Structure formats: C-alpha cells, structure tokens
Chains A and B, each alone.
Chain A
Amino acid sequence: MAAAVRARVRASVLSACLRWTSLHERRRMSFLPTLIRTVILAAGIALPAAAADQPVTARLVADAAMPTPGAPFLLGVEFTMEEGWHLYWRNPGDAGLAPTIAFTLPAGWTMGETRWPAPERVIDPGDIVLNVYHHRVLIAAEATPPADWTPAPVTITATASWLMCKAELCMPGKASLALALPQAEPLAAEAVAAWRASLPQPAEGFAEIRRDAGAASITLLWKRPVEPASLVAFAPAGGALAWSDHAERASTLTVAKPGDEPSSPAVVTGRTGDGHPFAIAVPLSSP
C-alpha cells in the first residue's frame, strides 16, 4: 500500500472536542469523576476498538470476505450503543453533532456516497428536536477495488469521531479502526438487506411541494400516508429548517431566512404510514 486514498465522509473532525480529554482530565477529576473515567476510556481506544466498557463502540465492517477486482462491496462503520446512549444523524437537529468517518483505502480504490439510515426523531424538553440513532447503526458506502487489482491480503483503516449523549451527559468519542482482508466474518446477506431497507428510498412521487413566492414556509402535500413524527429535513448546503406544522396529509417546513436559501435542495426523509423509510428532494430557493 504505497499511497493511500483518503475517502473522507466529512472533511472536519471533532478535534477540539477531543483535544480537551488529555488537557483537562486531571482538572475535571474532582468535578465529574464518572464522566472523566469514561472519557479516558473513550480517548484510549486501541485497534480494533472493541473496549467493552465504552458506551459506544465502533467496528469497521464489510460485506465481502475478500473484495473482487472491479466489484463494489459494502464498507462501513457499525456503531453499537449501550442502552440509553444515542448518536446523531448527518443533520443532528437542534443540537448534537454528526459522526465523522474517514476511510483510508489502498491506492486506486474508490468509494461511493455515504449512506445514512433514516434516524429517529425525538423531541427533548424545551422543544429540542433531535435526529438520532439508538442501539446500533451502520454508516456505509460502496468501495470498489480497481479492475486490475491483484487480490492479496490488504488492511483497510478508518478513523471515526462522534458525539454520544445519554440523558444529561454528552461526550466525545473516537476510534482508530482496521479491517484485515480476507476476513472470516463478512456482514451477513440478511444484515445487508436489513440495512438497505433502513435507508431512505428516493420517492419523489410521494409529495406535491408547494411554495408561494417569497414565503417562509414550504408545504408538502402527501400523496400517501406518512408518519409525521418520523419526518426530518437536512439541507446539505446549510440553511436552518424547522417543521412548523403537521396535518393529516400535509406538513409545513419553515425556512429561517426566506430569500437567503442555498440553491441546492434539502432532503426530507421520513417513514410511510406502513414503516418504509423514504427521501424526497425539496427545493429551497424561492420560486
């Protein structure tokens, strides 16, 4: 592995969040002993990061025992959360921070778009809307070795950083992960199928999108029943969005600064009345 291709999920890291763990652990000891003990554990994860007493652990996984030249395979980080702990979706909501994953692949390997399963939307006291994952989540993308790759043992690495929260507590977490291929335990086909089913499916036909010129709100008229509590919106190019109303067959999205929206559309994801995750693109720029 002479050179490495770094496929970054998001460019930045939780660096400042993590920096303090070493700087401040001693000073914080008397104030919050439990927190500190856990943070030291969080900061000290070794390869392949399976510390049992961490509230959130990360594992690098693939659905291939050994990749095939030119053939895409699923590569991702599976986070396992202890009861009560949560991680955040790529749009964390009113608070929180999305996990960051940086994969290091052998030279010439490519990686597709990172896919995030549909999150749970929870509303905390104070009307704080959070888009979260509980228990377990796989954040993954398709990786492809070059067609002319000569199969040989190879190790893929990744670094993951995240903010994990439980009740009144939030802590940064970090892990350096490695996956040696060939491997004996690739992700099972059923697990991959379940993961694919948890991804929001493009469903542009689900809603009619209405917006009056210059209006602050966008109305989505649902053509099939959706679960209002599951709806989340994410604007990749920035822009604050909030749900202001849900009626039986219509939901209203409010934009914070009408007239100043990014040109790229927002992504609204949710679940249908019968539980299928979906995603639709919602243009934000005024008509």
Chain B
Amino acid sequence: MPIRFFAALTLCAAFAIAASAAAEVGKPAPAFTGTDVDGKAVSLADFAGKTVVLEWMNPECPFSGPRRFESGAAQKQAAALKEQGVQVVLISSSSHLDAAALKAYATKQKITTPIVVDQSGEIGKAYGAKTTPHCFVIGGDGNVVYAGAIDDDKEGAKGDKAVNYVDQAVKEHAAGGKLTQASTQPYGCSVKYAK
C-alpha cells in the first residue's frame, strides 16, 4: 500500500500544480491580448524580440499605488528601462477598477506606460499573479526570465539599500549570465479578482 499510496499522492500533487496556471521561469510566457485605458489593444506579441516587464498594479493598495506610483518610483524605473530597450507593461486585474478610473489615475500620476485593464482577471490568472506588485520579466525569446517581488523591501524600510529584483534580472539577463534570483516570493496586497 505505501508505494501505491505515495505514487497516487505524487500524481495528485503534480495535478494540483499543473491545474493552477502560472507563468514559470524558463517557460514561455502566457500570450495575452488586452486593452489599455484608452481601449487600445495591447498584446504581449507586440513586443516580440524585446525584453518585457509586467507589473501587476492596484492604485488602492499601499504597496502599489502610494509606494510605486505616487512616489514616482515606477515611472522612473520604466523610463530607465525604456532607455535599455525594455518595455514595461502594467496590468490591473482588480475587478472593480475600470478603464476610466485607471485612466484618471494614470493621468494624475503621469504614468506613460500602457496599463492593461484586466477586469475579468483572465490575464492575471494565466500568470498566477497573486499580489500587487507582482512582477514578471520576459526575455526577447518569449520565455519568463524572472517572476516574483519588485524588490527585497516588503516593509518599505530599506530606502536606497533595497535590491530591485526586476532591475537586477533585466541587467543579468542582458549580460547573458545566470540570474542571482530568478524567482522570489512576491509581496503586497492580494490581487482583487472578481469574487
């Protein structure tokens, strides 16, 4: 009984993991097409060949709105990444935030990177996005290079000493080396998917 029992258990575990779709490091990033705050289509395929950073965002979450956007940190980072040829795409999977609310926020916070309005949560669930922020770096070949937290500063207490995992992953990926941290535990508010 023990061997068969454990085989069954292992199989169950494998199924449990396979059933919960998520973007995995080293595997192709789930393709998506969504619309931005102006209703314009945004596809991952639009940026084929480029390194892309996806960041799940929520203006109402203290870890995302105030800490990333109202501080200007995310805008600054997106601008710096753009100079390196890296495209940042923001995704909102909050079911209750529509394009108009996000557009007003983007205008106010001078966010120029596209925000994909994913009210159905389809894109978020395909990636297994759990928190805001939750970040994914996708290489030019379409494979996920990094998945996890924005940085190592969950408490927001490290200031300049914080390690920004996305910047680190982009830099190490561009240099062709092995990533110091290819996946980390994301932190923040839970993504507010439709109930």
Contacts and interface: CB of A to CB of B under 8 A. Distances in A.
B172 interface: no
Interface in B117-176: 121, 124-125, 128-131, 153-157
Interface in A73-109: 94-97, 100
Contacts of B20: 127
Interface of A is mostly: mixed
Interface residues of B, number: 51
Q: How large is the interface on A (under 10, 10 to 19, 20 to 34, 35 or more residues)?
A: 35 or more
Nearest to A165: B189
Given A94-B190, A167-B192, A168-B60, 7 more contacts: A20-B71, A95-B131, A126-B129, A127-B130, A163-B62, A168-B94, A219-B9
Kindly name the residue among A17, A32, A257 whose own CB sees the greatest number of chain B CB atoms within 10 A.
A17
A148 B188 CA distance: 46
The CB with the most chain B CB atoms within 10 A, among A95, A96, A219, A257, is that of A95
State the majority secondary structure of interface residues on B: loop
B39 interface: no
A198 interface: no
Interface string A11-49: 011111101100110011001100100000000000000
A12 B157 contact: yes
6 contacts: A14-B156, A23-B66, A31-B105, A31-B108, A247-B9, A252-B13
Interface string A106-128: 00000000000000000011111
Given A17-B67, A256-B183, A125 B195 contact: yes
Given A125-B195, A245-B9, A245-B13, A95 B155 contact: no
Given A172-B62, A244-B16, A94 B131 contact: yes
B62 A20 contact: yes
Interface string B181-192: 001011111111
Contacts of A217: 10, 13
Contact of B62 (A100, A170, A245): A170
Contact of A95 (B12, B71, B105, B187): B187
A125 to B, nearest CB: 4
Interface in A160-189: 163, 165, 167-172
Nearest to B6: A219
Contacts of A256: 183, 185
B63 A32 contact: no
A32 B60 contact: yes
B70 A168 contact: no
B53 to A, nearest CB: 20
A128 B63 contact: no
A240 interface: yes
Contact of A96 (B65, B128, B190): B190
B80 to A, nearest CB: 20
B155 A254 contact: no
A15 B9 CA distance: 44
Contact of A23 (B61, B70, B156, B190): B70
Contacts of A250: 5, 9
A280 to B, nearest CB: 19
Q: Closest 5 A-B residue pairs measured CB to CB?
A: A16-B156, A20-B66, A95-B190, A125-B193, A12-B155
A58 interface: no
